């Protein structure tokens, strides 16, 4: 069985998650240090990064990879708090 990943659909889902997080933060529904915000950013950036990798668009692989890494660092920081 062959797995085919649609880069456009994957990237669109990732970008949608990033935009939802951003809009909810602007609307003051989510704070940037809350679990849902961080989770939306890690998952959204991961999907967008993978999509960019699939189409070999390296500038966005770097951008989304960095975005996801920063969000993941926020999660690690939050986990280490007493």
| 3-class secondary structure, 5 | coil
For residues 33 and 62, give the distance between their C-alpha atoms in angstroms, rounded to a whole number. 23
In a domain, 23, yes or no: no
The count of structural domains within the chain is: 1
13 located within any domain? no
Cα separation, 55 vs 48, in Å, equals 11
Task: Please state, in angstroms and rounded to a whole number, the distance separating the CA atoms of residues 51 and 31.
Answer: 27
- Over its length of 82 residues, how does the chain's per-residue pLDDT go in tens digits? 445 679 999 999 999 999 999 999 999 999 999 999 999 999 999 999 999 999 999 999 999 999 999 999 999 999 998 7
Nearest CA-CA partner of 38 in 82, 80, 81, 78: 78
- The proportion of the chain whose per-residue pLDDT surpasses 90, expressed as a percent, equals 91
In a domain, 50, yes or no: yes
Could you list the residue range(s) of the whole structural domain that residue 51 is in? 29-82
The number of C-alpha atoms within 13 Å of 75 and in the hemisphere containing its C-beta is 15
Segment 10-32, tens digit of pLDDT: 999 999 999 999 999 999 999 99
């Amino acid at each position: 069985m062959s797995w085919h990943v649609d880069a456009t659909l994957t990237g669109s889902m990732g970008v949608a998650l990033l935009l939802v997080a951003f809009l909810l933060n602007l609307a003051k529904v989510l704070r940037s240090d809350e679990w849902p915000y961080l989770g939306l950013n890690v998952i959204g950036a991961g999907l967008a990064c993978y999509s960019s990798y699939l189409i070999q668009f390296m500038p966005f692989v770097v951008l989304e990879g960095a975005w996801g890494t920063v969000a993941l660092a926020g999660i690690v920081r939050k986990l280490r708090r007493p």
